[in-house]
Amino acid sequence: MVRVLEHRILQYRRTYRASIFGSFVSPVLFLTAMGLGLGGYVSGSSTQTFEGATYLQFLAPGLLGAALMQTAAGESMFPILGGLQWNRIYHAMYATPIRPRDIALGNIVWIAIRLMLVGTVFAFVTLAFGAVRSPLVVLAVPAAVLTGLAFATPIVAFAATQRRPDVFSTIFRFGITPLFLLSGTFFPIETLPTWLQPLAWLSPLWHGVSLCRSLMLGTIGDDPLLALIHVFVLAAIAIAGTLAAFRTFDRRLVGG
Partner 1 sequence: MPTPASESSLIHARGLTKRFGSFTAVDAIDFDVAPGEAFGFLGPNGAGKTSTMRMIGCTSPVTGGTLSVLGMDPNHDGARIRSRLGVVPQQDTLDNELTVRENLIIYGRYFGLARDECRRRADELLEFVQLSDRGTDLVEPLSGGMKRRLTIARSLINEPELMLLDEPTTGLDPQARHLLWDRLYRLKQRGVTLVLTTHYMDEAEQLCDRLVVMDKAKIVAEGSPLQLIARYSTREVAEFRFAPGVQEKLDGSFNGLADRIEWLPDRVLLYAYDGEQVVAASRERGIVPETVLVRRSTLEDVFLRLTGRSLID
Q: Does 89 bind partner 1 (CB under 8 A)?
A: yes
Q: Does 98 bind partner 1 (CB under 8 A)?
A: yes
Q: Does 99 bind partner 1 (CB under 8 A)?
A: yes
CA 210 to chain centre: 13
Judged by beta carbon, residue 109 or residue 240, the one nearer partner 1 is 109
Q: Does 254 bind partner 1 (CB under 8 A)?
A: yes
Judged by beta carbon, residue 18 or residue 225, the one nearer partner 1 is 18
Cα–Cα distance for residue pair 162/120, rounded to 1 Å: 32
Helix axes 137-159, 100-128, angle to 10 degrees: 140
Within 8 A by CB and 6+ apart from 137, the residues are 123, 126, 127, 215, 216
CA 88 to chain centre: 26
Judged by beta carbon, residue 107 or residue 185, the one nearer partner 1 is 107
Among positions 30, 58, 94, 129, the unique one binding partner 1 when judged by CB under 8 A: 94
Q: Does 105 bind partner 1 (CB under 8 A)?
A: no
Q: Which stretch binds partner 1 (CB under 8 A): 82-90, 121-129, 137-145, 191-199?
A: 82-90
* CB burial readout 19-50, b (16+ within 10 A) else e: eeeebeebbeebbeebbeeebeeeeeeeeeeb
Residues of this chain that interact with partner 1 (CB under 8 A) are 3, 6-7, 10-11, 14, 87-89, 91-99, 253-255
